[in-house]
Amino acid sequence: MESQKNSLIPSFLYSSSSSPRSVLLDQVLSSNSNAAFQSPSNLIEKKSPSPTMASRKSFLIASPTEPGKGIEMYSPSFYAACTFGGILSCGLTHMTVTPLDLVKCNMQIDPAKYKSISSGFGVLLKEQGVRGFFRGWVPTLLGYSAQGACKFGFYEFFKKYYSDLAGPEFAAKYKTLIYLAGSASAEVIADVALCPFEAVKVRVQTQPGFARGMSDGFPKFVKTEGYGGLYKGLAPLWGRQIPYTMMKFASFETIVEMIYKYAIPNPKHECSKGLQLGVSFAGGYVAGVFCAIVSHPADNLVSFLNNAKGATVGDAVKKIGMVGLFTRGLPLRIVMIGTLTGAQWGLYDAFKVFVGLPTTGGAAPVPAK
């Protein structure tokens, strides 16, 4: 079983003092003289680390198989790791699906021209070439990296904060409410970081000739709309992203717990890291489908408002129609968001495993006796 839980970190970085290479690395780092050049056999024979070596332990990263020797749960380092994991999971995944997002936005803005997914790609290829598929990738990368940092970092913070407020018994009984409250609180902050980049991204993607990307698109947007225009779509963005994120985190936590409870015979801590990451991806994909459905009307509003200067929500509803708000571009968005959310949870938990933290979800809180 231990062989199945090998760390993703090279073994010479483990903090275990029993590793010859770990001892050698410590000795090289801490030596002030020729002690670093002792023979490996002499170093291996040294059973207990010197005080200097102990002071250098913080350099090394614990293996995930060494509980208690890695990042302390809910410490500043824990939240920093979750924040960085959020940057990787959201920024990279959203940038990767830029072509799908580009077609989706144009289908929402001009359905007469972009009638379907396949024809949408054909129109883009004919008018803008292959490079056109990645128009707006820079504001996408920057915006969703900032959003991911706040989304995941603050979710972990608020989940712990609300659990402590509720107490062990109520935290276990109303855990889904805590997931919902924590994710909603985090997304309020995350969307403030995302909104300016989203405004520029939509304008670049849906108005050919407006700008090549972020560097020229941002100043041009500010010149025509003012800095306030960057946040014109904040309320609809909250309307799209807060329900999306509440569904994303609460359904993921619930689905993962159910997978470990009903589909996998062994407890989570006995499963290999590979299996745990597979559960994270599967739970994330299913959660993403629900996310796409509940947040799609607001997504249509965001695309419309950021594309049309001076437009209001009433204008969007009148032009698109209530049915159109719920259905226009939905099949593509289900595919995109399902894949995106699954990949995000997979990357996020892979990074947590990399730094020695457990994967997200799967263990129901134990009420105090």
Lowest pLDDT segment from 46-50, 69-73, 185-189:
46-50
d(C-alpha 119, C-alpha 108), whole Å: 14
Residues 253 and 319 in one domain: yes
- Whether 149 is covered by a domain: the verdict is yes
Which distant-in-sequence residues (6+ apart) come within 8 Å of 106 by Cβ?
Answer: 113, 114, 120, 123, 124, 205, 206
- Tell which of 207, 231, 255 closes a domain: 231
- Tell which of 181, 205, 231 closes a domain: 231
Of the candidates 285, 256, 286, which has an alpha carbon nearest to the alpha carbon of residue 363? 256
Residue 363: the pLDDT is 62
Residues 196 and 249 in one domain: no
Residues 279 and 193 in one domain: no
d(C-alpha 305, C-alpha 124), whole Å: 22
CATH code for the domain of 133: 1.50.40.10
Residues 227 and 356 in one domain: no
Residues 103 and 248 in one domain: no
Does 259 have pLDDT greater than 90? yes
Reported as a single tens digit per residue, the pLDDT across 260-307 is 999 998 899 899 999 999 999 999 999 999 988 988 888 888 788 877
Which distant-in-sequence residues (6+ apart) come within 8 Å of 338 by Cβ?
Answer: 285, 286, 288, 289, 292
Residues 301 and 177 in one domain: no
221 in Cβ contact with 170 (< 8 Å): no
Of the candidates 133, 142, 126, which has an alpha carbon nearest to the alpha carbon of residue 102? 133
Give the chain's length: 369
CB atoms within 10 A of CB 357: 21
- Whether 162 is covered by a domain: the verdict is yes
Number of domains the chain contains: 2
Residues 293 and 323 in one domain: yes
- Tell which of 231, 251, 267 closes a domain: 231
d(C-alpha 108, C-alpha 102), whole Å: 10
Reported as a single tens digit per residue, the pLDDT across 194-223 is 999 999 998 998 887 899 889 999 999 999
The top-scoring range by mean pLDDT among 47-56, 105-114, 149-158, 306-315 is 149-158
- Whether 55 is covered by a domain: the verdict is no
Reported as a single tens digit per residue, the pLDDT across 62-121 is 334 444 447 999 999 999 999 999 999 999 999 998 998 888 888 878 888 888 888 889
Residues 270 and 345 in one domain: yes
Residues 126 and 164 in one domain: yes
Residues 286 and 255 in one domain: yes
- Whether 147 is covered by a domain: the verdict is yes
Residues 244 and 279 in one domain: yes
Lowest pLDDT segment from 144-158, 318-332, 339-353:
318-332
Q: How many CA atoms lie within 13 A of 227 on its CB side?
A: 0
Of the candidates 97, 83, 227, 100, which has an alpha carbon nearest to the alpha carbon of residue 146? 83
- Whether 23 is covered by a domain: the verdict is no
25 in Cβ contact with 12 (< 8 Å): yes
- Identify the domain containing residue 120 by its residue range: 71-231
Q: What sign does the dihedral 243-245-246-247 (CA atoms) show?
A: positive
- Whether 111 is covered by a domain: the verdict is yes
- Whether 224 is covered by a domain: the verdict is yes
d(C-alpha 63, C-alpha 72), whole Å: 13
- Whether 15 is covered by a domain: the verdict is no
Q: What sign does the dihedral 152-154-155-157 (CA atoms) show?
A: positive
Of the candidates 139, 234, 227, which has an alpha carbon nearest to the alpha carbon of residue 187? 234
Of the candidates 350, 336, 338, which has an alpha carbon nearest to the alpha carbon of residue 278? 350
Of the candidates 367, 39, 4, 323, which has an alpha carbon nearest to the alpha carbon of residue 173? 367
Residues 125 and 218 in one domain: yes
For residue 127, give both structure tokens.
């008018």
CB atoms within 10 A of CB 326: 13
Rg of the chain over CA atoms, in angstroms? Answer: 24
